[in-house]
Structure 1
Amino acid sequence: MAEVRIKAEKRTRFGKGAARKIRREHKVPAVLYGHGTETRHLTLPGHDLMIALRTPNVLIRLEGDGINEIALPKGVQRDPIKGFLEHVDLLLVKRGERVTVELPVVVTGEPVSDGVLDQQMVTVSIEAEATHIPQNVEVNVDGFEIGHAVHASDLKLPTGATLLAEPDALVLHILPAQGGEAPAEGEGEGEAAAAEAAAE
């Protein structure tokens, strides 16, 4: 994953009033922590940060004001109504270090015409090298029949990534279009045999 470079400033103003003033300047209060270092309080440019956060698990290169670090967003607070960034927690990472992240599960393709996709997991937990985190995990359901299921262990993870989710966790399955359950194996045969017996 490519790094996104963002200018960082050390923050010396604290409290709700200071945070509001920072946001009025179209900037975002942030904290940088990790590796046993002392927590650092930063101010980041709001527009640049918002664009960067559109990429899941984006790797941010913080530069400026004596700072030169790589970080992963671990907590993002947004205004519940207007959606603007209020605060961001950043985890300090090093090259070669393995980190735990949640990857979006992206579904492509279409199941059979009389089947409905039921996605149970929208993200999956994995471990990967900090500077080589994939953006997502893709599942192609093209032509999947009713009853077909995909579990976490079936996901094709990028090289170097390790699955942390339970292997038998259900990611998605295909249900009948009418919302009923697919017949169990052999169930239809039993009903047919009973009908034949009644007719004799």
Structure 2
Amino acid sequence: MKKEKHELFEWLKVIALTAVFVIGIRTFIFSPIIVDGASMMPTYEDGDRIIVNKIGKTMTDLERFDIVVFKAPDERNFIKRIIGLPGDHIEYKNDELYVNGEKLEEPYLSQNKSALNGFGDLTGDFTLEQLTDHSKIPEDYYLVLGDNRLKSSDSRDSRVGLVAKDQIIGKANIRIYPFDELGWVK
């Protein structure tokens, strides 16, 4: 009887430690989410399942073109691409990105741009000053845009605006479903 109680206690300890370990990983390191909506198409499709690397934003700096998940003002999780970093001046003109006056390529937009067949721009013209009261992005803030620019609530929307670093949950660069697209995403 004593041996059975000891064995039961050992199993309970293993189960409790496993639960603490799983909760710790989900809370502090990785978290699965489901993409909801078309704002990141074709990079991420509605219903894709991805892993958010929470530790990535603390171990390394957030960089231009990183895909991140952040807490939107309405408490939903949004997934977008970082376009502007702290200290940057951002401008779009003639469907081209200019950062601090230098034109940058956005190869991840080529599929969406070609789908327009020359009828209009994917990203309408704007300057940072038109979106905010700033000529440069403030410290610890980021300008984020969806890859599907025609169907994205992002920093161009006053309800979203610039995203504070502490709103960012983590980087989203691992797709786990659909299985035929499993792997790293850029």
Q: Same fold (TM over 0.5)?
A: no
TM-score by length of 2: 0.22
Greater share of residues in helix: 2
Question: Normalising to structure 1: TM-score of the pair?
Answer: 0.21
Q: Which has the higher strand share?
A: 1
Which structure carries more relative contact order (alpha carbon 8 Å, separation 6+)? 2
Mark the structure with the bigger radius of gyration: 1
